[in-house]
Amino acid sequence: MRGPHNIWRLIRTGATLERTGAMPVVLDAFQAPPSLRFAARLLGWPFKWLGDRGDPNLPPAPRALTALGPAYIKFGQVLSTRPDVVGEELATQMRVLQDKLPPFPLEVARRTIESELEMPVDTIFSELSEPVAAASIAQVHKARLRDTGQLVAVKVLRPGIERAFRRDIDAFYLAARMIELLAPSTRRLRPMDVIAHFEGVVLGELDLRLETSANAEFVANTARDEGFRVPEVHWFLSARRVMTLDWVEGIPAGDVAAIEAAGHDRQALGERVLKLFLSHALRDGFFHADMHQGNLKIGADGAIVALDFGIMGRLDEYTRRVYAEIIFGFIRKDYRRVAEVHFEAGYVPPDRDIDEFARALRAVGEPIFGMDATRISMGRLLNYLFEVTERFGMETRTELILLQRTMVVVEGVSRSLYPQINIWNVAQPIVEDYIRDNIGPKAFLRDMTRTAVVLSRFGPRLPRLAEDLLIARSRAPEPVPKPSRWPLVMAGGAGAAAATAIFALGALLG
């Protein structure tokens, strides 16, 4: 569908941005060069009268995106996770976007449920309420299972939403391509990759089987987390356009007055939110990436209950180790080690001066540590860190940006519950425990064992592989020796174990 016919959609977008006053805000946030500004205004200004007015009570950019519809609202929400692309100010504005839309009729939801689950609604549920919440992609109904009488939440996709989103995503790709052509300097922000990231997020939310799977994985990972619950999904009552999970009662995490009135310990809740997020990110490498107050409830027993698993973050084990060492280095004010980790991980090009980089990191850390303890922010630290690494040539890493954005949101939730929270005091034991278990001799032995297990799977094939390698080496011209540049990042790193095994195998083969 990507092609010239999408130009009309871009004209409508430009007209709405002009009419709501969002065009200059967006262009300034992207630091658009003159050529791109001219093209954008050309698409918008002559057709301003065709644009939607939007809600005048909203800031210009959220006002425009809300007027343009569900795909644009969701795109704005995703951009709120990318301050590296749109700037901190616009990213903050985007976080106020709410995708609350009028619900579609109950009868349409019933037809969708029957079509997806292939059985009559009355056979499954003894009760099915009118919508209790309606968003841009789906709406939620409260229901009661006929067999057990259990209360459940039934999430149903909006009719035709997949086609509508794909149509708008096609227009986004055309816009990204035009931006790259008209303003080559913007390629460092990788506009096409930003749209591809958005497409991946949205397509994941448009297939509720993926959210069901994410829910199940999160339940398994957090089963032993004290004071934390995740509603369990009902697999056999879930499909591509329908998702059924346990109904949850509780106080919204944003209703501080009600939490106080219920007698809950706000300090304990604020600290627990932060500890849980760090544990999920470091211990599991799988974390809730949309952990705002609207997706958290406080149960009657004081447990924190997480909802909505459409946007989840994932970190591989190597990245978790790097991230933990960076945080730990800042906690100890060991800026040289933080710099070394960036170079060892390949985040910063090897031709840059490590001492200059360490000095720049000190300029990031010291002002923050000089603040009052209750004002210290890990999210702010990571934001400043990304600014410095960008100056030293670090490419955008989407998974770290998502982590940083979620960290900011989680800190906000924690401080709303307990404004006097000391972020570092709460984070330090979590990071130290991870460092102790995953970096050092014990972790090195564990990685070597894993490497040996992997190599053992190829045991029957090793003689033939060795023979083929020797034959290939005898036939190939002698290579020119080059300096070794093995990325042995940390003691206990998987790269170290793999490299050791490969070197040993090389020695064995002569």
DSSP codes of every residue in 381-436: HHHHHHHHHHHTTPPP-HHHHHHHHHHHHHHHHHHHH-TT--HHHHHHHHHHHHHH
Q: Cβ contacts of residue 320 below 8 Å, gap of 6+?
A: 281, 282, 285, 434, 438
As given in the structure block, the two tokens for residue 426 are 């709460």
- At 492 the pLDDT is 43
Domain boundaries, the chain: 4-99+168-197, 105-158+207-247, 251-439, 451-509
Q: How far apart are CA 244 and CA 238, in angstroms?
A: 6
Catalytic residue status for 290: yes
Q: Are strands 296-298 and 242-246 parallel, antiparallel or unpaired?
A: unpaired
- At 217 the pLDDT is 95
List per-block mean pLDDT (blocks of 10 residues) for the chain, which spans 510 residues.
66 82 77 74 72 81 83 76 65 68 90 95 95 88 96 94 84 79 65 76 84 94 94 94 95 91 94 93 91 88 92 87 84 88 85 90 78 65 71 69 76 86 84 80 72 74 77 69 42 43 40
**264 contacts 298 by C-beta, under 8 angstroms:** yes
Residues in the chain, how many? 510
**84 contacts 24 by C-beta, under 8 angstroms:** no
- At 220 the pLDDT is 95
**177 contacts 54 by C-beta, under 8 angstroms:** no
- At 54 the pLDDT is 80
Report the candidate in 213, 179, 211 with the shortest Cα–Cα distance to residue 195: 179
- At 375 the pLDDT is 66
Sign of CA dihedral 28, 30, 34, 35: negative
- At 503 the pLDDT is 40
- At 494 the pLDDT is 43
Q: How far apart are CA 369 and CA 341, in angstroms?
A: 21
pTM exceeds cut of 0.75:
no
Catalytic residue among 290, 301, 316, 433: 290
From the candidate CATH numbers 3.30.200.20, 3.40.50.300, 3.90.1150.10, 3.30.830.10, the one assigned to the domain spanning 105-158+207-247:
3.30.200.20
Distance set, CA 509 to CA 470, 501, 503 (Å) = 8, 12, 10
Q: How far apart are CA 261 and CA 128, in angstroms?
A: 32
Q: Are strands 251-252 and 242-246 parallel, antiparallel or unpaired?
A: unpaired
Q: How far apart are CA 360 and CA 335, in angstroms?
A: 9
Q: How far apart are CA 78 and CA 91, in angstroms?
A: 9
Q: Cβ contacts of residue 428 below 8 Å, gap of 6+?
A: 331
Query: Phi, psi at residue 143, to the nearest 5°?
Result: -140, 165
**Angle between the N-to-C axes of helices 354-369 and 335-344, in degrees from 0 to 180, rounded to the nearest 10:** 130
Q: How far apart are CA 125 and CA 236, in angstroms?
A: 13
Can you tell me which residue has the tokens 């099915």? 128
Amino acid at 431: V
